[in-house]
Chain A
Amino acid sequence: MSNDMRSRRSLLDGLSDVVGDLWGEDTLPSAAPAEPVYAAKPALPPFTKLWKIADEPIDWTEALASPTPTDGLTAPDKWALYHTQAAAVLRGDTEAYLSVLRAANPMADLMPYVAALDVSTANADTLRASFTVRSDLMENNAREYLSGMALRIARDLFAALPVTNVNVTGKQDGTPLLTVSFQKAELNKVRFAFIDPVDFVLQSGGEFIQE
């Protein structure tokens, strides 16, 4: 297991209360790390590298076909959840999407980098994500932070659910700073280790509204 995965798993373990907040209406956490555990984890990548990695995709077709993990890597309880939800998810049931997001919480590891994060479904094809920036992380290179964050959120959501589009909005004090729409087909072709996130967001039609 890689260091990243280890740290992600430990983050997930310590984030159960944050998870509850994350998906509740109007109860988004207003400040970064709710748990001191974040500060104690030096393995956490700096946000400048965040778009280069992403969660492992949930293999919904595999989960549909098999009640037990076929990859030998996924925990059996997690697989059981996927297996239960797979048929509905592959039908495009948006309720099932949200259930999966609540249960699997794929973006728990991004919480240290944002003040708040919210995801909703537009339809079976599209997810909408909105994050509130952390002001301190905006200080050095605001565009890179916004773009990297948007890209990473999109990557994690594409990995979690079989959607074709993810629309991401970055906000500060309720004011949008960046809106961008990512298409899965486009992201599939990208070698993330080599891209500049700002360029990529601009190529994807992203718009920096004000900073």
Chain B
Amino acid sequence: MAPLISKWHRELELFSAVKPLIILEGNVLDEYRYPVAGSIPEDSLVPLPEYLNGFLTDNGYEQVVFYSNLVGFMNPYQPSMLQEFARHNGCTAESGAIPAEFKGNTQETAPNIIRRAMSQTRAATAVIMELASHYIISPERMDQHDVNSFNLLMQSAMSAATVRTPMGRRQNLLIILVSKLNDLPAWFYLSNPLCKTILLEAPDREERKRLISGNAWPTFFDSTVYRTDMPFYEEHPEELSRLREKFVGLTEGLTFTELDAMRRLSKAECTPIRDLCTIVDLYKYGIKENPWQNLSMDSLRSAKQDFQKRIKGQDPALERTLDVVKRAVTGMNGLSSSSTAKPKGVLFFAGPTGTGKTETAKALAEKLFGDESACIRFDMSEYGQSHSDQKLLGAPPGYVGYEAGGQLTNAIKKNPFAIVLFDEIEKAHSSILDKFLQILEDGRLTDGQGHTVYFSETIIIFTSNLGMYVKDDFGKRQQNVTIDMDYPEVEKRLRTAVEDHFKLELGRPEILNRIGENIVIFDFIRREAGEAILRSQVDKIIRRMEEQKAIRIRVEDAAYACLQEAALADLSNGGRGIGNQVEALLINPLSRWLFDNSVIEDADVVIEGFDVAARPPCVRCRIEAKEEACHE
């Protein structure tokens, strides 16, 4: 297998020959895969300092030392180098270290020693300054000693000597490791021609693939597991390749340290090769039952009928919704994309108000995760301010509310197996849309405290009333769809309006691209569906009164017809509108009548009629004698 050398390694190779000062910024606390066989075996995962020690000694540096402001100079990997370094630079090594403060007035401060080491020509020397983000409190609050120390480092770079070695000429080198570049004073690195900044990022797809395919592959498994399972995969390389691809997809954004922890976890758990990807879940979420694996096919087969009981008159929308779930269950989701860490499914519900969009999300949560509470709802009208992303993700360090974390990230951390419902998405501030983009694309978010939460086991649902109204040529709002249009026309108009909103109004077509073909348009509540909704609401009231108060209510046919006519007169407000009518025409007048007639419990009440024109509306009822009720 040909070596795979990361971009930062190649940059380091290139620039260490021409720049005496190199700042490695970013993922400096991680481990890295040593890409070639040298003083470190190929494909070994080692901490960055060890990697640099291997890289520099393999490249002919004769003295490599590490500096930390807590310990001083040291080289735990090759202690003899420290002795040589001390001898050449006029200092003393004690107990495996040369103690030196970062700042001070003496000649024995670290920057002074580094300056001497950089300018000497006896041995090619590289000094690596670890944890340099913590040398000073803050670049904005430096005292003169801090400034002097960085000045000395700059002078060290300016006076860096070139040394002849058996492997050719080498320039003495100062490497500084920082988590964030702005932990250093800007004047130190900006417009500094001696300095090169190299960014260290989490391993990319190729790196992860190499880790899982290279020499390290067997080490992911317990010896017995590897011996017994591997022959099958040697005979079926395509299976192995599929498994590795999936693992690579699921581990997007993870550091090498995390991948290494997963490797050891897999080994400790004696995970069979075929179950390698389950370790990713175990690592990310701890010991949690994965409801996706416990889904019963029979339960899914009956899902449409179950949904129809709760959501009336939305068959095409339910069909589309269940398609996404079926894709998730069969593992076909994301086959067309490069990442398997994406959410299990993404749905965008659009349509008139009160047509069952939120209810569908809840029904889905109950079906998939056995509980409606697995539907985590965020009302995006509460996130309309520019700082709203902090509510979702948590405040950054130093801000009020930092400890509390973010509402979204906390919820997902607590329950990674969930339906995440973002209601009325068009009301969210545009800064939040960027976060959505990250969720949809990478399946993860990092909160203000730096913890990453994963959405790979969730279904994301956005709901919106977009497209119900459009502006005419004069900027006046006018209705775009009406109840007298048929469903195909409603669907076409709303879909176009949603697309226009993202493409033209927001200028964010990339968000629309992530949603793909998963825009589900809910139809108006038509007459037939309205009747079914009314019937179910009235039945529910009757049932509850009987259960809670032992009041048995019967609505006479003529009265029901009157109620139905009034409740369904205007269906433009959907199921919620029907509910409002039921409340106004039935619940309020009935409770008034029960109260006025002292009917508290255990009674048979017959509703004979509704006076819907009265203000407030009234019901005409009578109490049936118990004998009569029994007789009936």
Contact = CB atoms under 8 A, between A and B. Distances in A.
B226 interface: yes
A163 interface: yes
Contacts of A59: 219, 223, 267
A65 B224 contact: no
B455 to A, nearest CB: 33
B44 A184 contact: no
B223 A58 contact: yes
Contact of B270 (A64, A67, A188): A188
Given A62-B219, A65-B218, A162 B226 contact: yes
A61 B226 contact: yes
A28 interface: no
Contacts of B223: 57-61, 89-90, 161-162
Contacts of A68: 41
Contact of A65 (B216, B222, B227, B270): B216
Interface in B205-241: 215-224, 226-228, 230
Interface string A88-123: 011110000000000000000000000000000000
Given A66-B41, A90-B230, A162 B224 contact: yes
A184 B224 contact: yes
Contacts of A91: 227
Nearest to B220: A61
B43 interface: yes
A199 interface: no
Contacts of B217: 65
Nearest to A57: B223
A90 B226 contact: yes
Interface residues on B, range: 10 to 19
Given A90-B226, A124-B227, A65 B221 contact: no
Interface residues on A, range: 20 to 34
Nearest to A62: B219
Given A58-B223, A60-B223, A90-B223, A65 B215 contact: yes
A154 B218 CA distance: 24
A68 B227 CA distance: 21
A125 B228 contact: yes
A164 B221 contact: no
A186 to B, nearest CB: 12
Which of B44, B216, B222, B223 has most chain A Cβ within 10 Å? B223
A64 B222 CA distance: 12
A74 interface: no
26 contacts: A59-B223, A59-B267, A61-B219, A61-B220, A61-B221, A61-B226, A62-B218, A64-B218, A64-B219, A65-B43, A66-B41, A89-B227, A90-B218, A90-B223, A90-B227, A90-B230, A124-B227, A125-B228, A158-B224, A162-B222, A162-B223, A162-B226, A162-B227, A163-B224, A184-B224, A188-B270
Given A66-B41, A66-B215, 14 more contacts: A59-B267, A60-B223, A60-B227, A61-B219, A61-B221, A61-B223, A62-B218, A62-B219, A67-B41, A89-B227, A162-B223, A162-B224, A162-B226, A185-B270
Interface of A: 57-62, 64-68, 70, 89-92, 124-125, 158, 161-164, 184-185, 188
Q: Which 7 residue pairs spanning A and B have beta carbons closest together?
A: A61-B218, A60-B223, A162-B223, A162-B224, A162-B227, A65-B215, A61-B219
